[in-house]
A and B are shown apart, each in its own frame.
Chain A
């Protein structure tokens, strides 16, 4: 459809016999903030990774041809106590994508990272600083869609607010479309233009105030959940 940046039709993801996502269909318009909510193990992270093209699927995912994706993962694989700083990470991405060095300066400025923070080993950064680093990393390469997994899972309330304000600002200033996974219903009401309730299948989709009825919420967080395996949680090699 005109104005749609993403169309998903009959998306199904299965790992062996285990179905993670079943028959999902919906569309996202340019500049929207779509929040995905659902209980643990409902396939939210798998869904983001599928949209990124990291996981095989059945069905149709159509991105606008001009789309450029950025991704903010829920957690990192590396141990935090490495002799690596954010500047090393930004440089690694900039170099791999052949971006000029000034882009690093620019994205750091946008999220409010100081030169000192860029040079600080990642293990010594606060949760909020590190999260800003991940957002700046995603912003490198000027994406017009950012997929955001649990933006504030490890943050205190103040840092949490900062991250959402930043997201809001990026949406306003740059027209960036956000697709984010969240646990927090108040965030969904406050920031999301659409909400997708996910529990293997689509339980609801629409404006938060209309879609999130008490019936929907009890269906989402109640019965079927306990029958699911949790194999879609990440497995990290030690």
Chain B
């Protein structure tokens, strides 16, 4: 069984990214969603240099990234899109400088490798936490993205909710980092949701289809990577992108 642990882990993470991605897309944070993960690279690099567990390095950097995005969105003076784009692209540059060169490919694109049962259980528990967050807060999230004034008059604490959302978003990225790397993990959040948005018309279907596209991409990706000896991360994301292109064929009313 241990040889299936990485796949089981990835399937749980896929549901979490699918759920998270639906709201990321509705909140129009495609760019932030895709580039926020880049900030994990300098954290990874520094952790590798100092011989700390790389997950801790990445998690710290992503937590900082989450608070940063939150702060940028709260301040009315900064051009949100531009600022996010610049900061997180710079993170890749700095990360590439500090990350030891023998680790850079795995850090950018993810790797395979065996995992322990304990690791698997922790990842499953955290993935479930992300799913529960989305299901629990979906109503407040819907109100907020629909109209902030309506949300506020309904009693939603928007600023607090946004911070919580970004932190859970960062957690989702951490979960996917192991097998997708800092460059590609954001794509498993955004791409399946983008396909699902084309295909669905209600919120619950959107969440379900987004999670399903994400899971199928992961399962197919692992399978093809195993058969043809591809790298897992790029294979998974290529398949997800394929699903998105197919979804564009759907005729709209």
A residues within 8 Å of B by Cβ?
Answer: 49, 52-54, 69, 71, 73, 76-79, 82-85, 87-89, 91-93, 95-97, 119-121, 124, 137, 235, 237-238
Contact = CB atoms under 8 A, between A and B. Distances in A.
Contacts of A120: 201
Is the contact region of chain B dominated by helix, strand, or loop, or is it mixed? Answer: helix
Contact of B146 (A54, A69, A71, A78): A78
Interface of B: 26, 28, 73, 76, 80-81, 138-140, 142-143, 145-150, 152-156, 196-197, 200-203, 205-206, 253
B148 to A, nearest CB: 6
Given A85-B202, A92-B142, A71 B149 contact: yes
A76 B148 CA distance: 9
Residue picked from A52, A69, A73, A92, most chain B C-beta under 10 Å: A92
Contact of B200 (A79, A83, A89, A91): A83
12 contacts: A49-B149, A73-B150, A78-B147, A82-B26, A83-B201, A83-B203, A84-B202, A92-B138, A93-B143, A96-B154, A96-B156, A137-B150
Contacts, number: 84
A71 B26 CA distance: 23
Contacts of B147: 73, 76-78
A89 B146 contact: yes
B174 to A, nearest CB: 26
Given A83-B200, A84-B142, A238-B28, A77 B148 contact: yes
A88 to B, nearest CB: 4
A233 to B, nearest CB: 14
A85 B146 CA distance: 11
